[in-house]
Structure 1
Amino acid sequence: MSTRKARLGNALRAIRRRLDLSLTEVAARTGLAISTLSKVENSQLSLTYDKLLQLAEGLEVDISAFFEPDPTAQDRLHPTVTARRSIARKADGLLVQTPNYDYRYVCTDLTHKAMVPIITTIRARSIVEFPTLSRHAGEEFLYVLRGRIIVHTEFYEPAELATGESMYLDSTMGHAFLTAPGPKSAQILNVCHSPNASHFRSLLDLARAQERPQQEQDEDPIREVGQKP
């Protein structure tokens, strides 16, 4: 928990300075109290997923930016064989529901992964539903599992992909995925790659910290699926 607080605090301070914003200005943009933001920056307070999403939307950054560790802290000169593996059954994973997407993170038992595999159901049908395009470190691959999607990117015309088609893209380029006109939401396999792609672990920790009584579980925006009550 202390490591996550420190990482979040450092990330928020770095983003705020990069945008040349005061705490007062961040508070105005996000609706979070100045005292709360100050405690976060000083590693005295963490935030719930809802508050993190509110912070990301107000600052117009991807939520993953708050969980990327310092790449200089990782030693990549002497890789070791870890023999790690993870099997994801059909109902396993961490479900994160947002207005535009339902993300199901799989293989969540492995930390510090270079790749983050996600099964994404796309509910958005218009680009106006996105206040800002998503962008984050690294690259990603997407493969259409069901339906048809329209991929909007910062430097290209929208591209339509059908079931069985795929795309590889630079994740630092602004991007958004829409379901093409039709009766059902489209679904894709999305694999994000980055040396710092470990933010899903913090989402998992947040999900567990926010567990509610059984009768409220259906209202949770984030939960681990395939887990017995």
Structure 2
Amino acid sequence: MRRPIVLAKIREIRKSKGLTLEQLSQASGLSVSQLSKIENGKARLTFDTALMLSGLLKVPVTAFLSSPTSAPVARRSITRAGGGIVHNTPGMKFEVLCSDFREKRNVFWRVVVTAKTVEEAGGWRHHPGEEFLFVLEGTLEIHTEHYEPVRLKPGDSILFDANMPHSYVSQGKRDAVVLMSNTVPADGEPPAVVTHR
């Protein structure tokens, strides 16, 4: 359940834009009653509804979905091109990006996939959390336990539960290069780069 203080922010932003519940209701297609319940924490705020409201109110969706912090946070981390720590695994090279934060919710990697088969990639891997991939170069073929292999080209992306066994291979003459993000498990330890089944 969302914390009421987070939900109350919808009302705060709506009022700052000079909108009444009735006006937001007409623009969103949600009833006044439903909007009022969302604002007061009596109805669940779904991601799709938050996304739609953020578009109408012209604020980032994270304004509704993130928990409030007790003090302003002003951290940043920069990794210069080629400056990340590199981990080499069978068929893949992982470069850790922006890893300076002591407490992380995500780990970011630039991954070069050279493997042409699942075997060359070291077989199947799985780990806690979610995995996000955005293809920068080449063609990436993703194998997962519950789905048929799918090919992604530059500009394509995918998000999946990383506990599902998965493997990556590069298709074509060029290596596949991807931006990867993993959620960090609750114990705060980054996910293992390779966990074979």
Normalising by structure 1, report the TM-score. Answer: 0.50
* Structure with the greater alpha carbon radius of gyration: 2
Structure 1 position 81, deviation (Å): 4.3
Please give the residue correspondences for 1:15-54 in structure 2 after superposition, counting only pairs within 5 Å. Answer: none
Identical positions, percent: 31
Matched ranges for 1:146-185 at <5 A? 146-180=137-171, 182-185=172-175
- Following TM superposition, where does structure 1 have runs of at least 4 consecutive aligned residues deviating by more than 6 angstroms? 76-79
In 2, the alpha carbon distance for the partners of 1:94 and 1:197 equals 22
Matching residue of 1:88: 79
* 1:66-107 C-alpha deviation (Å, 9 max, x unpaired): xxxxxxxxxx99765442211222122111111221000011
Shift of 1:132: 3.9
Give RMSD over aligned pairs. Answer: 2.7
Deviations 1:136-182 (A, max 9, x none): 111011000000010000100000111111101101111111101x2
Greater relative contact order, per chain length (Cα 8 Å cut-off, separation 6+): 1
Unpaired runs of 5+ residues, structure 1, are 1-75, 204-229
Q: Are 2:177 and 1:187 aligned?
A: yes
Work out the CA distance in 2 between the residues paired with 1:134 and 1:202: 9
Cα distance per residue 1:38-76 (max 9 Å; x no partner): xxxxxxxxxxxxxxxxxxxxxxxxxxxxxxxxxxxxxx9
How far apart are the structure 2 equivalents of 1:122 and 1:197? 29
Amino acid at match of 1:185: D
CA distance in 2, matches of 1:112, 1:123: 32
Distance 1:130 1:197 in 2: 28
Structure 2 CA distance, aligned partners of 1:78 and 1:96?
34
Pair 1:84–1:103, CA change in 2 (3 A): same
Classify the secondary structure of the residue corresponding to 2:179. Answer: strand
Q: Indicate conservation of the 8 Å contact 1:115/1:191, yes or no.
A: yes
What is the one-letter code of the residue matched to 2:184?
Answer: S
8 Å contact kept, 2:90–2:122? no
Pairs aligned (count) = 127
Q: Distance in 2 between matches of 1:193 and 1:102?
A: 19
On the 8 A contact 2:109/2:180 being kept in 1, the answer is yes
Q: Displacement of 1:187 after TM fit? A: 0.4
- Whether 1:113 aligns to 2:104 is yes
Shift in alpha-carbon separation, 1:187–1:80, aligned structure 2, 3 A: same
Aligned 8 A contact 1:122 1:186 in 2: yes
Structure with more helix by fraction: 1
